[in-house]
Protein backbone atom coordinates (compact mmCIF):
# COMPACT_ATOMS: atom_id res chain seq x y z
CA UNK A 1 0.00 0.00 0.00
CA UNK A 2 2.87 2.39 0.84
CA UNK A 3 4.37 1.84 -2.62
CA UNK A 4 0.99 2.48 -4.29
CA UNK A 5 0.57 5.74 -2.39
CA UNK A 6 4.03 6.96 -3.35
CA UNK A 7 3.66 5.94 -6.98
CA UNK A 8 0.21 7.46 -7.13
CA UNK A 9 1.39 10.72 -5.61
CA UNK A 10 4.13 11.04 -8.15
CA UNK A 11 1.75 10.25 -10.99
CA UNK A 12 -0.41 13.08 -9.73
CA UNK A 13 2.69 15.26 -9.98
CA UNK A 14 2.85 14.35 -13.66
CA UNK A 15 -0.76 15.48 -14.04
CA UNK A 16 -0.10 18.77 -12.25
CA UNK A 17 2.88 19.43 -14.49
CA UNK A 18 0.72 18.94 -17.55
CA UNK A 19 -1.88 21.35 -16.21
CA UNK A 20 0.44 24.31 -15.74
CA UNK A 21 2.74 23.70 -18.69
CA UNK A 22 1.58 21.61 -21.62
CA UNK A 23 4.13 19.10 -22.84
CA UNK A 24 6.54 19.74 -19.98
CA UNK A 25 9.07 16.92 -20.17
CA UNK A 26 11.39 17.68 -17.28
CA UNK A 27 10.97 18.84 -13.66
CA UNK A 28 13.77 19.14 -11.08
CA UNK A 29 12.63 20.22 -7.61
CA UNK A 30 15.71 18.80 -5.91
CA UNK A 31 18.43 20.81 -7.63
CA UNK A 32 20.38 17.94 -9.18
CA UNK A 33 20.71 19.90 -12.44
CA UNK A 34 22.00 23.38 -13.25
CA UNK A 35 19.68 25.80 -15.05
CA UNK A 36 21.58 25.22 -18.29
CA UNK A 37 21.35 21.43 -17.92
CA UNK A 38 17.62 21.69 -17.17
CA UNK A 39 17.00 23.67 -20.37
CA UNK A 40 19.16 21.27 -22.36
CA UNK A 41 17.37 18.22 -20.99
CA UNK A 42 13.90 19.71 -21.59
CA UNK A 43 14.77 20.18 -25.25
CA UNK A 44 16.45 16.77 -25.48
CA UNK A 45 13.43 14.92 -24.08
CA UNK A 46 11.08 16.91 -26.35
CA UNK A 47 13.10 15.93 -29.43
CA UNK A 48 13.24 12.25 -28.47
CA UNK A 49 9.53 12.23 -27.69
CA UNK A 50 8.65 13.76 -31.06
CA UNK A 51 10.96 11.33 -32.87
CA UNK A 52 9.13 8.23 -31.57
CA UNK A 53 5.64 9.71 -30.97
CA UNK A 54 5.98 8.72 -27.33
CA UNK A 55 6.32 11.24 -24.54
CA UNK A 56 9.37 10.59 -22.35
CA UNK A 57 9.00 12.52 -19.09
CA UNK A 58 11.41 12.78 -16.13
CA UNK A 59 10.36 14.08 -12.70
CA UNK A 60 12.82 14.71 -9.85
CA UNK A 61 10.62 15.51 -6.85
CA UNK A 62 11.69 16.60 -3.37
CA UNK A 63 8.96 14.49 -1.74
CA UNK A 64 5.61 12.81 -2.27
CA UNK A 65 2.40 12.77 -0.30
CA UNK A 66 -1.30 12.01 -0.42
CA UNK A 67 -3.47 8.92 -0.65
CA UNK A 68 -4.57 8.35 -4.27
CA UNK A 69 -5.82 5.48 -6.41
CA UNK A 70 -3.01 4.18 -8.63
CA UNK A 71 -5.23 3.16 -11.55
CA UNK A 72 -7.04 6.50 -11.64
CA UNK A 73 -3.83 8.51 -11.43
CA UNK A 74 -2.21 6.42 -14.19
CA UNK A 75 -5.07 7.41 -16.48
CA UNK A 76 -4.98 11.02 -15.28
CA UNK A 77 -1.26 11.22 -16.06
CA UNK A 78 -2.09 10.98 -19.76
CA UNK A 79 -3.90 14.34 -19.75
CA UNK A 80 -1.77 16.76 -21.75
CA UNK A 81 0.49 13.99 -23.06
CA UNK A 82 0.35 11.34 -25.75
CA UNK A 83 -1.31 8.00 -25.07
CA UNK A 84 2.15 6.45 -25.42
CA UNK A 85 3.97 7.67 -22.34
CA UNK A 86 6.99 6.85 -20.19
CA UNK A 87 7.43 8.63 -16.85
CA UNK A 88 10.59 8.35 -14.77
CA UNK A 89 10.28 9.69 -11.26
CA UNK A 90 12.64 10.02 -8.32
CA UNK A 91 11.64 11.19 -4.85
CA UNK A 92 14.56 12.45 -2.77
CA UNK A 93 12.83 12.40 0.62
CA UNK A 94 11.20 8.99 0.12
CA UNK A 95 14.34 7.43 -1.43
CA UNK A 96 12.14 6.04 -4.18
CA UNK A 97 12.52 5.85 -7.94
CA UNK A 98 10.56 3.98 -10.60
CA UNK A 99 9.27 4.10 -14.19
CA UNK A 100 5.62 4.07 -15.27
CA UNK A 101 4.70 2.96 -18.82
CA UNK A 102 1.45 3.57 -20.67
CA UNK A 103 0.39 2.58 -24.19
CA UNK A 104 2.99 1.06 -26.54
CA UNK A 105 5.89 1.19 -24.02
CA UNK A 106 3.86 -0.99 -21.66
CA UNK A 107 2.84 -3.37 -24.45
CA UNK A 108 6.31 -4.03 -25.85
CA UNK A 109 8.54 -3.78 -22.75
CA UNK A 110 8.32 -6.02 -19.69
CA UNK A 111 8.73 -4.88 -16.11
CA UNK A 112 12.20 -6.42 -16.12
CA UNK A 113 13.10 -4.47 -19.27
CA UNK A 114 11.86 -1.19 -17.82
CA UNK A 115 13.84 -1.85 -14.64
CA UNK A 116 16.97 -2.57 -16.69
CA UNK A 117 16.77 0.86 -18.33
CA UNK A 118 16.03 2.60 -15.03
CA UNK A 119 18.92 0.83 -13.29
CA UNK A 120 21.35 1.77 -16.07
CA UNK A 121 20.32 5.42 -15.78
CA UNK A 122 20.51 5.35 -11.97
CA UNK A 123 24.01 3.87 -12.10
CA UNK A 124 25.25 7.00 -13.87
CA UNK A 125 23.29 9.29 -11.56
CA UNK A 126 24.69 7.64 -8.44
CA UNK A 127 28.14 8.34 -9.87
CA UNK A 128 27.20 12.04 -10.14
CA UNK A 129 26.44 12.16 -13.87
CA UNK A 130 22.78 13.17 -13.66
CA UNK A 131 22.64 14.66 -17.13
CA UNK A 132 24.25 11.59 -18.66
CA UNK A 133 21.90 9.27 -16.80
CA UNK A 134 18.83 11.24 -17.91
CA UNK A 135 19.94 11.24 -21.55
CA UNK A 136 20.68 7.51 -21.41
CA UNK A 137 17.14 6.94 -20.11
CA UNK A 138 15.66 8.92 -23.01
CA UNK A 139 17.91 7.23 -25.59
CA UNK A 140 17.10 3.71 -24.44
CA UNK A 141 13.35 4.27 -24.41
CA UNK A 142 13.46 5.84 -27.87
CA UNK A 143 15.39 2.79 -29.12
CA UNK A 144 12.93 0.41 -27.45
CA UNK A 145 9.87 2.07 -29.00
CA UNK A 146 11.58 1.92 -32.43
CA UNK A 147 12.21 -1.79 -31.90
CA UNK A 148 16.01 -1.46 -31.98
CA UNK A 149 17.50 -4.87 -31.16
CA UNK A 150 20.30 -3.20 -29.22
CA UNK A 151 17.85 -1.56 -26.81
CA UNK A 152 18.51 -2.54 -23.20
CA UNK A 153 14.77 -2.78 -22.58
CA UNK A 154 14.39 -5.38 -25.34
CA UNK A 155 17.27 -7.61 -24.29
CA UNK A 156 16.69 -11.38 -24.25
CA UNK A 157 16.15 -11.44 -20.50
CA UNK A 158 13.87 -8.40 -20.60
CA UNK A 159 11.59 -9.11 -23.58
CA UNK A 160 7.98 -10.01 -22.90
CA UNK A 161 7.23 -13.76 -23.26
CA UNK A 162 5.54 -14.89 -26.42
CA UNK A 163 1.99 -16.27 -26.45
CA UNK A 164 3.42 -19.79 -26.48
CA UNK A 165 5.58 -19.17 -23.43
CA UNK A 166 4.35 -19.72 -19.90
CA UNK A 167 3.59 -16.29 -18.44
CA UNK A 168 2.93 -17.54 -14.91
CA UNK A 169 5.43 -17.15 -12.11
CA UNK A 170 6.19 -19.44 -9.22
CA UNK A 171 5.32 -17.79 -5.94
CA UNK A 172 7.66 -18.77 -3.11
CA UNK A 173 6.26 -21.01 -0.36
CA UNK A 174 8.71 -22.55 2.08
CA UNK A 175 8.41 -24.63 5.23
CA UNK A 176 7.35 -23.06 8.51
CA UNK A 177 10.17 -21.17 10.19
CA UNK A 178 12.56 -21.66 7.26
CA UNK A 179 15.42 -19.17 7.39
CA UNK A 180 15.98 -18.90 3.62
CA UNK A 181 13.31 -19.56 0.99
CA UNK A 182 14.79 -19.11 -2.49
CA UNK A 183 11.74 -19.32 -4.73
CA UNK A 184 13.45 -17.19 -7.41
CA UNK A 185 16.49 -19.51 -7.60
CA UNK A 186 18.97 -16.69 -7.01
CA UNK A 187 21.42 -18.72 -4.90
CA UNK A 188 23.67 -21.66 -5.58
CA UNK A 189 23.62 -24.52 -3.08
CA UNK A 190 26.76 -23.34 -1.30
CA UNK A 191 25.45 -19.79 -0.85
CA UNK A 192 22.05 -21.07 0.25
CA UNK A 193 23.60 -23.23 2.99
CA UNK A 194 25.89 -20.42 4.12
CA UNK A 195 23.01 -17.92 4.43
CA UNK A 196 20.77 -20.45 6.19
CA UNK A 197 23.46 -21.18 8.76
CA UNK A 198 24.26 -17.50 9.25
CA UNK A 199 20.58 -16.55 9.68
CA UNK A 200 20.08 -19.40 12.15
CA UNK A 201 23.16 -18.37 14.14
CA UNK A 202 22.13 -14.73 14.49
CA UNK A 203 18.48 -15.66 15.12
CA UNK A 204 19.48 -17.85 18.07
CA UNK A 205 21.90 -15.23 19.35
CA UNK A 206 19.33 -12.40 19.30
CA UNK A 207 16.29 -14.50 20.18
CA UNK A 208 14.31 -13.40 17.12
CA UNK A 209 13.31 -14.87 13.75
CA UNK A 210 15.41 -13.75 10.77
CA UNK A 211 14.21 -14.84 7.32
CA UNK A 212 14.91 -14.24 3.63
CA UNK A 213 12.29 -14.99 0.98
CA UNK A 214 12.90 -14.61 -2.75
CA UNK A 215 10.15 -15.10 -5.32
CA UNK A 216 9.79 -14.63 -9.05
CA UNK A 217 6.51 -12.82 -8.47
CA UNK A 218 4.04 -11.87 -5.76
CA UNK A 219 1.07 -12.15 -8.12
CA UNK A 220 -1.47 -9.38 -7.63
CA UNK A 221 -0.31 -8.63 -4.11
CA UNK A 222 1.86 -5.76 -2.90
CA UNK A 223 5.31 -6.18 -1.30
CA UNK A 224 4.23 -5.06 2.14
CA UNK A 225 1.09 -7.20 2.21
CA UNK A 226 2.92 -10.25 0.83
CA UNK A 227 5.82 -9.96 3.30
CA UNK A 228 3.53 -9.41 6.31
CA UNK A 229 1.24 -12.28 5.35
CA UNK A 230 4.14 -14.64 4.62
CA UNK A 231 5.68 -13.97 8.03
CA UNK A 232 2.36 -14.43 9.82
CA UNK A 233 1.49 -17.70 8.07
CA UNK A 234 4.83 -19.54 8.18
CA UNK A 235 5.52 -20.17 11.84
CA UNK A 236 7.96 -17.40 12.65
CA UNK A 237 8.24 -16.02 16.19
CA UNK A 238 6.56 -13.03 17.85
CA UNK A 239 9.77 -11.01 17.39
CA UNK A 240 11.41 -11.07 13.99
CA UNK A 241 12.29 -9.66 10.59
CA UNK A 242 11.82 -10.93 7.03
CA UNK A 243 13.41 -9.72 3.80
CA UNK A 244 11.30 -10.19 0.66
CA UNK A 245 12.80 -10.05 -2.84
CA UNK A 246 10.35 -10.06 -5.78
CA UNK A 247 12.10 -10.30 -9.14
CA UNK A 248 9.09 -9.49 -11.36
CA UNK A 249 9.05 -5.83 -10.28
CA UNK A 250 12.49 -5.81 -8.62
CA UNK A 251 11.02 -5.00 -5.23
CA UNK A 252 12.71 -5.44 -1.88
CA UNK A 253 10.75 -5.16 1.33
CA UNK A 254 11.68 -5.73 4.96
CA UNK A 255 8.84 -6.50 7.35
CA UNK A 256 9.33 -6.33 11.12
CA UNK A 257 7.16 -7.60 13.95
CA UNK A 258 7.34 -7.46 17.72
CA UNK A 259 7.68 -4.33 19.85
CA UNK A 260 11.44 -4.66 20.38
CA UNK A 261 12.29 -5.62 16.79
CA UNK A 262 10.24 -2.75 15.39
CA UNK A 263 11.79 -0.31 17.85
CA UNK A 264 15.29 -1.32 16.78
CA UNK A 265 14.91 -1.79 13.01
CA UNK A 266 12.08 0.42 11.70
CA UNK A 267 14.28 3.52 11.78
CA UNK A 268 17.05 1.65 9.95
CA UNK A 269 15.14 0.23 6.97
CA UNK A 270 16.38 2.84 4.47
CA UNK A 271 19.98 2.29 5.55
CA UNK A 272 19.59 -1.48 5.31
CA UNK A 273 18.24 -1.15 1.76
CA UNK A 274 21.13 1.10 0.74
CA UNK A 275 23.63 -1.32 2.28
CA UNK A 276 22.17 -4.27 0.37
CA UNK A 277 22.23 -2.38 -2.93
CA UNK A 278 25.84 -1.29 -2.29
CA UNK A 279 26.72 -4.92 -1.50
CA UNK A 280 25.41 -6.13 -4.86
CA UNK A 281 21.62 -6.48 -4.79
CA UNK A 282 21.15 -4.53 -8.03
CA UNK A 283 24.16 -6.08 -9.77
CA UNK A 284 23.22 -9.67 -8.96
CA UNK A 285 25.51 -10.50 -6.03
CA UNK A 286 22.59 -11.73 -3.95
CA UNK A 287 24.71 -13.75 -1.54
CA UNK A 288 26.70 -10.68 -0.47
CA UNK A 289 23.57 -8.51 -0.29
CA UNK A 290 21.69 -11.02 1.89
CA UNK A 291 24.67 -11.50 4.21
CA UNK A 292 24.79 -7.73 4.64
CA UNK A 293 21.09 -7.73 5.57
CA UNK A 294 21.69 -10.33 8.32
CA UNK A 295 24.81 -8.50 9.49
CA UNK A 296 22.85 -5.24 9.76
CA UNK A 297 20.17 -6.90 11.88
CA UNK A 298 22.86 -8.20 14.24
CA UNK A 299 24.68 -4.86 14.33
CA UNK A 300 21.61 -2.73 15.05
CA UNK A 301 20.42 -5.09 17.80
CA UNK A 302 23.84 -4.99 19.44
CA UNK A 303 23.90 -1.20 19.27
CA UNK A 304 20.47 -1.03 20.89
CA UNK A 305 21.68 -3.25 23.73
CA UNK A 306 25.19 -1.98 24.34
CA UNK A 307 25.37 1.25 22.35
CA UNK A 308 28.06 2.10 19.84
CA UNK A 309 31.58 1.09 21.00
CA UNK A 310 32.84 4.57 20.14
CA UNK A 311 30.05 6.12 22.21
CA UNK A 312 31.13 3.99 25.17
CA UNK A 313 34.75 5.14 24.84
CA UNK A 314 33.68 8.77 24.62
CA UNK A 315 31.46 8.39 27.70
CA UNK A 316 34.32 6.88 29.75
CA UNK A 317 36.78 9.60 28.73
CA UNK A 318 34.30 12.39 29.48
CA UNK A 319 33.48 10.79 32.83
CA UNK A 320 37.14 10.70 33.82
CA UNK A 321 37.67 14.32 32.81
CA UNK A 322 34.60 15.54 34.74
CA UNK A 323 35.62 13.46 37.76
CA UNK A 324 39.15 14.86 37.84
CA UNK A 325 37.91 18.44 37.51
CA UNK A 326 35.34 17.97 40.30
CA UNK A 327 37.93 16.37 42.60
CA UNK A 328 40.33 19.24 42.02
CA UNK A 329 37.72 21.88 42.80
CA UNK A 330 36.58 20.17 46.02
CA UNK A 331 40.13 19.56 47.17
CA UNK A 332 41.00 23.24 46.70
CA UNK A 333 38.10 24.24 48.99
CA UNK A 334 39.22 22.06 51.95
CA UNK A 335 40.86 23.61 55.02
CA UNK A 336 43.55 21.71 56.91
CA UNK A 337 42.46 20.55 60.40
CA UNK A 338 44.00 18.32 63.04
CA UNK A 339 42.26 15.13 64.12
CA UNK A 340 40.70 15.24 67.65
CA UNK A 341 40.70 12.34 70.11
CA UNK A 342 37.46 13.23 72.00
CA UNK A 343 34.05 14.21 70.65
CA UNK A 344 33.66 17.19 73.03
CA UNK A 345 36.85 18.69 71.63
CA UNK A 346 34.84 19.65 68.52
CA UNK A 347 32.34 21.71 70.62
CA UNK A 348 33.11 25.36 71.34
CA UNK A 349 33.45 25.78 75.08
CA UNK A 350 30.38 27.35 76.71
CA UNK A 351 28.21 27.07 73.58
CA UNK A 352 25.94 24.23 74.90
CA UNK A 353 24.41 23.57 78.34
CA UNK A 354 22.26 20.44 78.90
CA UNK A 355 19.84 21.00 81.85
CA UNK A 356 17.44 18.03 81.52
CA UNK A 357 17.34 14.66 79.72
CA UNK A 358 14.45 12.14 79.37
CA UNK A 359 12.92 9.63 76.89
CA UNK A 360 9.33 10.30 75.69
CA UNK A 361 7.22 7.73 73.68
CA UNK A 362 5.47 9.49 70.81
CA UNK A 363 3.68 6.96 68.52
CA UNK A 364 3.97 3.62 66.72
CA UNK A 365 3.45 2.43 63.11
CA UNK A 366 1.79 -0.94 62.35
CA UNK A 367 1.78 -2.32 58.79
CA UNK A 368 -0.51 -5.25 57.94
CA UNK A 369 -0.13 -7.37 54.77
CA UNK A 370 -2.78 -9.84 53.65
CA UNK A 371 -1.42 -13.36 53.19
CA UNK A 372 -1.84 -14.44 49.53
CA UNK A 373 -3.05 -17.92 48.66
CA UNK A 374 -0.73 -19.98 46.44
CA UNK A 375 -1.62 -19.68 42.69
CA UNK A 376 -0.01 -19.62 39.21
CA UNK A 377 -0.89 -18.06 35.88
CA UNK A 378 -0.17 -19.49 32.46
CA UNK A 379 2.26 -17.73 30.13
CA UNK A 380 3.96 -18.21 26.80
CA UNK A 381 4.86 -16.63 23.50
CA UNK A 382 2.49 -15.92 20.65
CA UNK A 383 3.42 -16.62 17.05
CA UNK A 384 3.65 -13.97 14.37
CA UNK A 385 0.19 -14.79 12.98
CA UNK A 386 -1.95 -11.66 12.81
CA UNK A 387 0.68 -9.57 14.56
CA UNK A 388 1.39 -5.90 14.05
CA UNK A 389 4.08 -5.15 11.48
CA UNK A 390 6.42 -2.34 10.60
CA UNK A 391 9.04 -2.10 7.91
CA UNK A 392 9.67 -0.55 4.52
CA UNK A 393 11.14 -1.22 1.10
CA UNK A 394 12.04 0.02 -2.35
CA UNK A 395 13.39 -0.95 -5.75
CA UNK A 396 16.73 -2.49 -6.68
Average pLDDT over the chain, rounded to an integer: 76
Taking the C-alpha atoms of residue 37 and residue 221, their distance in angstroms, rounded to an integer, is 40
What's the pTM value of the predicted model, to 2 decimals? 0.44
Residue 164 phi/psi, 5-degree rounding, is -80, -20
Taking the C-alpha atoms of residue 330 and residue 355, their distance in angstroms, rounded to an integer, is 40
| Whether the predicted pLDDT of 362 surpasses 80 | no
DSSP characters for 262-309?
Answer: HHHHGGGHHHHHHHHHHHTTTTT-HHHHHHHHHHHHHHHHHHHHH--H
The region of weakest confidence among 24-38, 69-83, 171-185 is: 69-83
The vertex-163 CA angle with 158 and 165, nearest 5°, equals 65
Q: What is the pLDDT of residue 209?
A: 94
Give 347's DSSP letter.
Answer: S
| Whether the predicted pLDDT of 373 surpasses 50 | no
Q: What is the pLDDT of residue 160?
A: 42
Percent of the chain with pLDDT over 90: 30
The region of weakest confidence among 35-39, 134-138, 368-372 is: 368-372
Question: In this structure, are residues 90 and 96 in contact, taking their beta carbons and an 8 Å threshold?
Answer: yes
Give 98's DSSP letter.
Answer: E
Q: 130-146 and 35-52 are packed helices; what angle lies between their axes, rounded to 10 degrees?
A: 0
Q: For residue range 379-391, what is the model confidence (pLDDT) as tens digits?
A: 333 333 446 899 9
| Whether the predicted pLDDT of 44 surpasses 60 | yes
Q: 2-20 and 223-233 are packed helices; what angle lies between their axes, rounded to 10 degrees?
A: 180
Give 322's DSSP letter.
Answer: H
Task: Please give the domain boundaries of the chain with CATH numbers for all domains.
Answer: 2-154 (3.10.310.50), 180-306+386-395 (3.10.310.50)
Question: In this structure, are residues 247 and 217 in contact, taking their beta carbons and an 8 Å threshold?
Answer: yes
Least Cα distance to 226 among 250, 208, 247, 244 occurs for 244
Q: For residue range 57-112, what is the model confidence (pLDDT) as tens digits?
A: 998 887 665 443 444 445 555 567 788 888 887 877 656 677 888 888 888 887 77
Over residues 171-195, the mean pLDDT reads 85
Which of the two residues, 393 and 4, has the higher pLDDT score? 393
Taking the C-alpha atoms of residue 232 and residue 221, their distance in angstroms, rounded to an integer, is 15
Over residues 169-180, the mean pLDDT reads 70
Taking the C-alpha atoms of residue 242 and residue 254, their distance in angstroms, rounded to an integer, is 6
The region of weakest confidence among 15-24, 133-142, 241-250, 314-323 is: 15-24
| Whether the predicted pLDDT of 117 surpasses 80 | yes
Amino acid sequence: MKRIILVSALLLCALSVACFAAQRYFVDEIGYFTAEEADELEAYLADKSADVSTDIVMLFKSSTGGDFDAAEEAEAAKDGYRDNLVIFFLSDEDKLYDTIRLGIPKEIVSTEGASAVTDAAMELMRAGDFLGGAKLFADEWAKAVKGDEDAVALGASARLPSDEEDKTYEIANGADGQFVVDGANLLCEEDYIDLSNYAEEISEKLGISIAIVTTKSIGNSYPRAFADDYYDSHGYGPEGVLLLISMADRDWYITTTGEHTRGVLDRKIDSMGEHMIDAGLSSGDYHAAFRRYIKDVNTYFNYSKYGSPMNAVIAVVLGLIVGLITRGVLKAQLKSVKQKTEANEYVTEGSMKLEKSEDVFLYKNVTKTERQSSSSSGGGSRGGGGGSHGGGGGKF
